[in-house]
Amino acid sequence: METGTIIIGIAIFILIFIPLVLAQTKRKNEEKVILNKLLKTAKDKWCTIEQYDIWNQSAIGIDSTNKTLFFIEAPTKEAVQINLNTIKQCRIVNASRVLENEDIEPMAVRKLELSFIKTHPEDEIRILFFDANISLQVDEELKLIKKWHIIIAKTL
């Protein structure tokens, strides 16, 4: 009787534990791939990433010496390079919508972007941190966009 209970307990533990470990390993491997792409993109442009962040299959990094920002966008995995010497201003674009009958949180974030304005405003560059059509809820993106806005403002 006791042996059967122990075996069932171990089986349940394994059924719960193994998927968690596999999911964590998969996430870490995806982060490594994204980081390697970010570092390779910078290296190809003779830059060195001094500071970076990875989230939701996106990555951002900066070479303060060369004043160059690198970004890997989540859906496309496309690398974007921004020469900060050509940027006049950086600002946070927070597209939100008002929720009716919501007492706790009346605003829902639809999109978070960093907007880079060059000398000519029509040459604006935007990098996406969060899109409600892709991800269901804002997690660390709000903190990250504020952090990177400050880092970029100091570099400008």
pLDDT in tens, 112-153: 889 898 877 678 888 888 887 777 777 788 888 889 999 998
Phi, psi of 93 (to 5 degrees): -110, 115
State the pLDDT at residue 52.
92
Question: Per the structure, how many domains does the chain have?
Answer: 1
The rounded distance, in Å, linking the Cα atoms of 27 and 38 is 17
Question: Which residues touch 51 (CB under 8 Å, ≥6 apart)?
Answer: 61, 62, 64, 151
Coil, helix or strand at residue 16 = helix
Q: Does the pLDDT of residue 50 top 80, yes or no?
A: yes
pLDDT in tens, 95-117: 776 555 555 555 577 788 898 98
Spatial CA neighbour of 113 closest among 96, 128, 97, 134? 128
Contact criterion met (CB below 8 Å) for 77 and 37 = yes
87 is in which domain, residue-wise?
2-155
Q: Considering the entire predicted model, what is its pTM?
A: 0.75
State the pLDDT at residue 46.
93
Contact criterion met (CB below 8 Å) for 128 and 115 = no
pLDDT in tens, 15-43: 888 888 888 888 888 889 888 899 999 99
The rounded distance, in Å, linking the Cα atoms of 67 and 20 is 40
